[in-house]
A and B are shown apart, each in its own frame.
Chain A
């Protein structure tokens, strides 16, 4: 077989080195303009965020106090000096945590199925993926109606008619923190699934092959090798879902949020008060909007703080996980 010898001979003088002309010949206007625009966009976003935060703080400053945070609104929720949001804090936190308990296992398991087990070309896989994608685009109010129709009326009704029911009053077939959390779980499922899938895909195939070649079953490989590696990514999914769910009001509107509860939610069947919902109440039900405005904005501040706090805890956990994985070095 003949090999073509590459002809790489330059005659002297044929090609001159052009190393001396490094200085730019003209200003690059396009680059400058682009840099300017992106800088402007960044400042715009920061500016808007700043305006919102400042607006909230300025308006809610008078309503915020330590007493506000730790007391309840049994006396008068519309009076600046008597209102308190502790029950709402508890309610929001409780429903978010309960949601996490539902969404993480289901989301992670689905992601594992899609990544590790499903054949990419099968019809079932495509249906599942389509469903997940569509779920992400559904408006939150629709989730609220879904929660009411499916969880409360259908499932709850079924449970009431079965052994679990008790007495003439519906026990399960009514708004409750359980149903609100489940509704939120369904809503944030796509986020967890996608985040988990991404972190699973990021794990090199070589690790799985190494494990299988040693005689591990697929399940052992997933549980002992793949999943531990994917934990930070799963945590990210959790953080994202918490962030979204903490501030959502529409899904809990019909499924469990209450205008007023005398006590904290103790059972799964109890209703709860909620920060976001409370903002809605204050703005629509208040007898004196001027008086109530500080309370309203203060509630928003508390909601933001709670979201940050929940995120912060989750990020702390994730950072510790990452450090542990790196600490083995």
Chain B
């Protein structure tokens, strides 16, 4: 992903995008399509979180709280009060952006471990409130979430909606990371002091990215609840947060494709391989430990390195040819003066 030419590697990307668009026409199994939609909804959240964790290096382990707020906003407004689902999705994004702002305002000032603990606490608090405020959230019993109207309510239509939203979010994050903003985020991750010393507004950049991740989490939550069609506080257990976090770390920090593959693989694997489903979160912990110990840069980086090792290095010849005419002209001009 180089900044110099956005069109480099456009062909595989186009092919991948086309394959994703055509997926509902190929896949006949409804369950697999549901799984693909789930991956898409999770990816919308992870794409935003990736800017926070992968690029800015802020270890937020509480994003499940924002997902829960988005889901409940959707279920309450669209389900109980009958708002338009598409409008409600946008509203859920805005509400979660506001929540991200309120959470980030104090906690992003804190050092590393303190920040991780505050976000962990935030995730726990949201679940606690979801159980406590029975009149709003249905308590432990939960709430039904409505489907989208018309063609968007069908499984493939809903898949395309999620795909469109995921594509938009991916495009936004990709744009952020390619340009000056992304560079300043990486600088904050690698050394906040050095970043501040060259004029990066550290706190404001962190907060902006965190709010953006809140918006994506809200949209993801709205789509997620409609996909699940029924939500309870148990849906948003802390392990889900760990799952988002692990798929970014495993995929590789500072890349977009890596976390995407991580999300897809980690969502699909326990569903398709039965023994892993039983181990569940233990498996995420094991993966996280292995990646941290063996390839702290993430598996994506490992793949890059293997490819680089396999591909023979291209040696470019640079023949040095002096431009004699210009040299002569310059010398003449110098002599005249």
Please determine whether chains A and B interact with each other in the same assembly. Answer: no
Which residues of B are interface residues toward A (Cβ below 8 A)? none
